[in-house]
Amino acid sequence: MAITAALVKELRERTGAGMMECKAALVEANGDIEAAIEAMRKSGQAKAAKKSGRTTAEGVVMIRIAEDGKQGVMVEINCETDFVAKDSNFLAFAEAVTVAALSSGVADAEALASQTLADGNTVDAAREALIAKIGENIQVRRLVRFDGAEGVLYSYRHGVRIGVLVELVAGDETLGRDIAMHIAASNPMCISADQVPAATLDKEREIFRAQALGSGKPEAIVEKMIEGRVRKFLEEVTLLGQPFVKNPDQTVAQLLKQAGAEVRRFMRLEVGEGIEKKVENFAEEVMAQVRGS
């Protein structure tokens, strides 16, 4: 069967693959476009497997909240480069995954992989097809879900790399967005001092004690120094203790009290946090090859 330009064009539109790849697939399938698509999907899955070990420390954080404000999701979707993170195909995939995350009710990224997107493909099948098309490893890394909110959920995204989901009881939309923005900027550990893990507090006390003892001051003074530093630490790491970013003369606790509002929970995601990025050194790589030859 003759491989026409129209046939190649149709296969490109249906698969998103390159022209030469489409033509080769059609030649191999003797012009059968369905057989070519199946072969390309298999090939794409093979490519995806080869790329699955690559570091994915770039990407986006996407957020979606239900119309009633009682349910929301935040999804981190990673790729290898900042260039791909801005690609329209990658962003469309990220948006589709986030829509599916909200509607499906699943609680984590592993369960999300088998959910169906609006186009009928599963999240994982669409991910593998996108890997074949773009040529980079892509991972749906994290999913945060807030269900059954007593208050209302609000969100804030700083660019595409940092996302915040917060539940606010009372207050209004402006306050909710301001609190979410503050969390994005200040990255508190938790809401209040009683939520700071005891192990974290003990570790900080040990550090402060070692610093204070080195000053040569009497024990009674040292204890006061330690308690003062612990209080300062708690102010720095808790949402309520932090100075509000838009008005540093006021703490977040004072802002909320003034509005008669309360933060019940929050989550902040930043793209790539906790992932060790491989730093490429081209000169060293060349020298290693020279020494090995």
The CA radius of gyration of the chain, in Å to the nearest whole number, is 26
CB contact at 8 A, 186 and 193: no
Please tell me the distance from the alpha carbon of residue 97 to that of residue 124, in angstroms, as a whole number: 10
Fold classified for 5-51: Helicase, Ruva Protein; domain 3 (1.10.8)
DSSP letter (8 states) at residue 171? S
Give the per-residue pLDDT at 45: 46
Distances (CA, A) of 82 to 78, 95, 109, 123, 278: 10, 17, 22, 22, 14
| Domain spans in the chain, listed from the N-terminal domain onward | 5-51, 58-184+261-270, 193-257
Distances (CA, A) of 1 to 15, 17, 35: 21, 21, 13
Distances (CA, A) of 37 to 17, 23, 133, 136, 290: 10, 11, 13, 20, 43
Fold classified for 193-257: GTP Cyclohydrolase I; Chain A, domain 1 (1.10.286)
CB contact at 8 A, 84 and 58: yes
pTM: 0.75
- Closest by CA position to 123, among listed 157, 162, 73: 73
Strands (E), the chain: 58-65, 72-79, 139-146, 152-158, 162-169, 243-244, 247-251, 262-270
The tens-digit pLDDT sequence of the chain (293 residues) is 678 888 888 877 676 666 777 888 889 889 888 888 777 766 664 455 455 556 667 999 999 999 999 999 999 999 988 899 999 999 999 999 999 999 999 999 999 999 999 999 999 999 999 998 888 889 999 999 999 999 999 999 999 999 999 999 999 999 999 999 999 999 999 999 999 999 998 888 888 877 777 777 777 787 888 888 889 999 999 999 999 999 999 999 999 999 999 999 999 999 988 876 554 454 554 455 555 54
Q: Domain 58-184+261-270 has what CATH class?
A: alpha beta
CB contact at 8 A, 187 and 107: no
